[in-house]
């Protein structure tokens, strides 16, 4: 094993031994895991919120006051995600989950659905997903797929509800909106029961999602951070690996 994986060879071996003795696994992921798929992160030095004001493009009040502007932003994001491919980190997690379908779960802050494209089925989406639609007037929801999303919607037109003709909203959690309670309750339960939590590509700056590692700690779970950058919770981790998730996870999880 050469390169950066070799630098962490001892950690990899120790983590693999812990995996062999563990039963319940959580992969807690943020925007960094999708960066290698060409999806920009939000809070890095080149992140989206360095270029755009989230209060104007991704907040509930912005959607109500200027839905055209918000939809311009989300249509561009949807087009980008449609053209992206899941990377080796997504597929490594998906293959690992398939060997332990009852005991391995992904809790993600991402809205791109790349985990599902990588083979994961046990995915809790804390912030919704970009290919879902919800009507704030009548509550109707519908899920679409990335491969035919733009067969159903045109970037030239704001989507409207077929039931009540009001403007549809992307079924994502905007600023000023709460997390979906069912997903949040499930995330807390899984974090509180896991034996090992992989914390991958998240800055751990967003509340309340950043409290999930503490629930894992209360269960004496092992925390493995995979992130090129130091985070606010690095000191909490049992292992911190400064490497590409797509390169290191294939080694740790022993999947090709």
Sign (positive or negative) of CA dihedral 88, 80, 40, 97 = negative
Annotated binding site for Zn(2+): 135, 138, 161, 164
- Whose tokens are 């379908």? That residue is 101
Q: Which of 249, 236, 222 is nearest to 23 (CA)?
A: 222
Catalytic choice (90, 105, 115, 127): 127
Please report, in range form, the residues annotated as the binding site: 135, 138, 161, 164
Exposed, middle or buried, 31 (CB in 10 Å: 0-12/13-18/19+)? buried
Q: Are 130 and 150 in contact (CB under 8 A)?
A: no
Cα distances (Å, whole numbers) of residue 179 to 65, 110, 186, 209, 229? 21, 13, 12, 9, 26
Q: Is 115 a catalytic residue?
A: no
What amino acid positions are annotated as catalytic residues? 127
């Amino acid at each position: 094993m050469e390169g950066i994986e070799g630098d962490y060879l001892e950690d990899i071996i120790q983590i693999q031994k812990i995996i062999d003795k563990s039963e319940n696994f959580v992969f807690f992921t943020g925007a960094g895991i999708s960066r290698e798929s060409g999806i920009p992160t939000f809070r890095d030095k080149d992140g989206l919120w360095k270029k755009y004001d989230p209060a104007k493009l991704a907040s509930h009040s912005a959607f109500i006051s200027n839905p055209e502007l918000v939809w311009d932003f989300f249509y561009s994001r949807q087009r980008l995600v449609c053209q992206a491919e899941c990377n080796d980190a997504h597929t490594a997690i998906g293959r690992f989950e398939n060997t332990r379908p009852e005991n391995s779960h992904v809790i993600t802050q991402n809205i791109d659905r790349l985990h599902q494209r990588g083979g994961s089925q046990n995915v809790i989406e804390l912030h919704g997903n970009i290919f879902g639609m919800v009507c704030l007037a009548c509550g109707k929801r519908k899920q679409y797929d990335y491969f035919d999303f733009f067969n159903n919607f045109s970037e030239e037109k704001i989507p409207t509800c077929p039931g009540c003709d009001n403007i549809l909203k992307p079924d994502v959690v905007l600023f000023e909106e709460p997390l979906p309670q069912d997903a949040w309750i499930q995330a807390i339960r899984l974090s509180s029961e896991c034996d090992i939590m992989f914390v991958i590509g998240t800055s751990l700056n967003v509340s309340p999602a950043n409290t999930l590692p503490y629930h894992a700690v209360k269960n004496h779970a092992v925390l493995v951070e995979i992130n090129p950058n130091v985070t606010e919770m690095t000191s909490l981790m049992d292992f911190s690996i400064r490497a590409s998730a797509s390169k290191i996870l294939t080694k740790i999880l022993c999947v090709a």
